[in-house]
A and B are shown apart, each in its own frame.
Chain A
Amino acid sequence: MNTKPIIACENIVKTYHNAGVDTAVLKGVSFSVAAGEFVAIMGPSGSGKSTLMHIIGALDTPSSGTYYLDGSDVSRLTDDELADIRREKIGFVFQAFNLLPRATVLRNVSLPLVYAGVAKEERERIAERALIDSAFPQAFWQHHSNQLSGGMMQRVAIARSLVNDPALILADEPTGNLDTKTGEIVLHTFQSLNTGHGKTVVLITHEPYVAEHADRIIHIRDGAILTDEKNPRRRIARGES
Chain B
Amino acid sequence: MKTQDLWEETYSAVTVNKVRSGLTMLGIVIGIASVIALVAVGQGAQSSIQANINSLGANLLIVMPGASRSFGSTVNAGRGTAETLTPDDATAIASQVSNVAAVSPEVQTREQVVASGANTNTTIEGVTPAYAQVRNLQIADGVFISSQDVTAANRIAVIGPTVLQDLYGDPNSNASATPADALGQTIRISGQDFTVVGVTVPKGGTGFMNQDNMVFVPLTAAQHYFLGSTSYVTEIDVEASTQAAMTQVQNDITNLLLQRHNIPDPTQADFNILNQADIVSAASSVTGTFTTLLAAIAGISLLVGGIGIMNMMLTTVTERTREIGLRKAIGAKKQDITMQFLAESVMLTFTGGAIGIALGWLAAVAVTALAHITTSVSLSSVLLAFGVSAGIGIIFGYYPARRAAALSPIEALRYE
Contacts and interface: CB of A to CB of B under 8 A. Distances in A.
Interface of A: 54, 57, 59-60, 79-80, 83-84, 86-88, 92, 94, 96, 98, 100, 102-103, 111-112, 114-117, 119-120, 160, 164
B140 interface: no
Contacts of B328: 83
Nearest to A107: B12
A116 B331 contact: yes
30 contacts: A57-B329, A59-B410, A60-B410, A79-B333, A80-B333, A80-B334, A80-B335, A83-B333, A84-B331, A84-B333, A86-B330, A87-B330, A87-B331, A88-B331, A92-B330, A94-B326, A98-B323, A98-B326, A100-B323, A103-B12, A112-B331, A115-B331, A115-B332, A115-B333, A115-B336, A117-B2, A119-B2, A120-B5, A164-B330, A164-B331
A194 B298 CA distance: 64
A177 B399 CA distance: 35
Contact of A115 (B12, B330, B410): B330
Contact of B409 (A59, A111, A115, A164): A59
Contacts of A117: 1-2
Contact of B16 (A60, A94, A102): A102
Contact of A102 (B1, B4, B12, B329): B12
B interface residue count range (under 10 / 10 to 19 / 20 to 34 / 35 or more): 20 to 34
Q: Is the interface of B mostly helix, strand, loop or mixed?
A: helix
Interface string B357-382: 00000000000000000000000000
A164 B331 CA distance: 10
B139 interface: no
B410 A54 contact: yes
A92 to B, nearest CB: 5
B413 interface: yes
Nearest to A60: B410
Q: Interface centre among B322, B323, B326, B328, by most A CB within 10 Å?
A: B326
Q: Interface centre among B5, B330, B335, by most A CB within 10 Å?
A: B330
Contacts of A119: 2
Nearest to A51: B410
